[in-house]
């Protein structure tokens, strides 16, 4: 389609009887203009609906006002809790400071790093926003090596830029265990998923720390996969074992769903026979019976902090000296009992 070219700066300049540069200044450095000129020009810009061509501006200035976000793979067998609210929050936060989010995904046969290189080389974006960052994430290493601005939801290594934000999962799970201890539970289990994602590890560490601090007896279980059947199977074993725990901390709400299913099949009543707490506060948790005690991630704050760090890196050229650890919010519901 022949993209009918639109209003250019030249059109506005002609209409206003001034030069290009004056229009440019009206937008980028208004203080340079005589107030009356500014007002006249501004009105004209408004009337004609002029917007600087982003490509031309980018070509000259080298800045795109676009942030790339490599979308996490969203396995239907274990939906990424970030795809909903987090993405929203990121788009909103970025929008507030005049940036937009470009979704990225490696083409078939392309590595994550190649996908990053492609947009870097094509100068399509100013920076990257990474989520689901692993302990030794190749993307972080790659961007660090390339000296390209990024911010990460999830900790980076000490020798890498500390441009990260993360949730203090350890602390949150310690508090969860504390709630259980306060209700008199002595035998508590931790239910994890297979992956070695750092947040899983953190939650496990939190569990261990909580158990130690309160002198409880802790057991740990791992589901061989994230599919419903596998989850239910491992949880039934957990519930059937001798010395059945009286409380379970699931590393994520998704895992907790398996506990609900297994408990029903085993005739165990959650909230009465078994206390249950989890992590993520998926929207559906309100429908569970009894409703699930869980930890809500401060997605808005995380998004805002990440975007803030990104903008700082891009516009000032300075890298944050330290990461930012935000607390999770305990949402106490009946699943842990009265």
Partner DNA sequence: CTGCGTAATATGAACGTTCATATCGCTGAG
Partner DNA sequence: CTCAGCGATATGAACGTTCATATTACGCAG
Residues within the interface to DNA (CB under 7 A): 5, 7-10, 17-22, 24-25, 27-28, 32-34, 37, 50-53, 56-57, 59-61
**Cα(34)–Cα(54) distance, integer angstroms:** 26
Q: Please, what is the minimum distance in Å from the beta carbon of residue 184 to its own copies?
A: 27
Residue 14 CB neighbours (<10 A): 13
75: Cβ–Cβ under 8 A, 6 or more apart, which residues? 226
Among candidates 314, 299, 303, which has minimal Cα distance to 143?
A: 314
Told to check if 6 binds its own copies by CB under 8 A, we report: yes
Q: Measured at the alpha carbon of residue 247, what is the angle toward residues 245 and 249, in degrees to the nearest 5?
A: 115
Smallest separation, CB 119 to its own copies (Å): 8
Q: List the structure tokens of 140.
A: 């972080």
Residue 296 DSSP SS3: strand
Contact status: 134 vs its own copies (CB under 8 A):
no
Give the 3-state secondary structure of residue 167: strand
Q: How many CB atoms lie within 10 A of CB 169?
A: 25
By CB under 8 A, residue 225 contacts its own copies? no
Residue 37: which of DNA, its own copies, none does it interact with, CB under 5 to 8 A by kind?
DNA
Q: Which stretch binds its own copies (CB under 8 A): 128-136, 159-167, 283-291, 301-309?
A: 283-291
DSSP state, 281? Answer: -
State the binding partner of 28 from its own copies, DNA, none, CB within 5 to 8 A by kind: DNA
Closest-CA residue to 326 (of 165, 86, 204): 165
Least distance CB 26 / its own copies (angstroms): 16
Rounded least distance, CB 40 to DNA, Å: 9
87 in contact with its own copies (CB under 8 A): yes
Nearer to DNA, 5 or 107 (CB): 5
Between 148 and 279, name the residue whose CB sits nearer to DNA: 148
Q: Any contact of residue 58 with its own copies (CB under 8 A)?
A: yes
Q: From the list 158, 159, 287, 321, which residue makes contact with its own copies (rule: CB under 8 A)?
A: 287
Q: Are 238 and 177 spatial neighbours (Cβ–Cβ below 8 Å)?
A: no
- State which residue, 208 or 296, has the beta carbon closest to its own copies: 296
């Amino acid at each position: 389609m022949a993209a009918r070219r639109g209003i250019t700066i030249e059109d506005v300049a002609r209409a206003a009887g001034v030069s290009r540069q004056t229009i440019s200044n009206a937008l980028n450095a208004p203080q340079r203009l005589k107030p009356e000129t500014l007002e006249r020009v501004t009105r004209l810009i408004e009337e004609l609906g002029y917007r600087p061509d982003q490509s031309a501006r980018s070509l000259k200035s080298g800045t795109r006002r676009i942030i790339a976000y490599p979308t996490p793979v969203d396995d239907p067998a274990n939906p990424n809790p970030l795809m909903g609210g987090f993405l929203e929050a990121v788009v909103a936060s970025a929008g507030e400071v005049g940036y937009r989010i470009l979704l990225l995904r490696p083409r078939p046969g392309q590595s994550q790093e190649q996908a990053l290189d492609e947009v870097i080389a094509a100068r399509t974006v100013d920076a990257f926003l990474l989520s689901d960052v692993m302990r030794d994430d190749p993307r972080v290493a790659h961007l660090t090596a390339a000296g390209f601005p990024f911010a990460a939801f999830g900790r980076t290594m000490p020798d890498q830029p500390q441009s990260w934000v993360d949730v203090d999962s350890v602390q949150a799970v310690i508090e969860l265990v504390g709630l259980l201890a306060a209700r008199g539970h002595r035998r508590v289990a931790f239910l994890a998923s297979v992956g070695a994602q750092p947040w899983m590890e953190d939650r496990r560490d939190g569990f261990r720390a909580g158990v130690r601090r309160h002198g409880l007896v802790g057991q740990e279980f791992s589901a061989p996969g994230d599919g419903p059947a596998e989850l239910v199977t491992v949880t039934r074993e957990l519930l059937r074992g001798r010395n059945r725990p009286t409380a379970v901390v699931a590393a994520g709400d998704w895992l907790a769903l398996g506990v609900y299913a297994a408990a029903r099949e085993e005739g165990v009543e959650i909230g009465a026979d078994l206390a249950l707490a989890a992590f993520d506060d998926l929207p559906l948790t309100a429908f569970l019976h009894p409703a699930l005690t869980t930890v809500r991630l401060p997605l808005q704050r995380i998004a805002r902090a990440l975007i803030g760090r990104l903008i700082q890196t891009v516009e000032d050229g300075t890298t944050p000296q330290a990461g930012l650890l935000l607390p999770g919010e305990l949402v106490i519901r009946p699943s842990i009992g009265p």
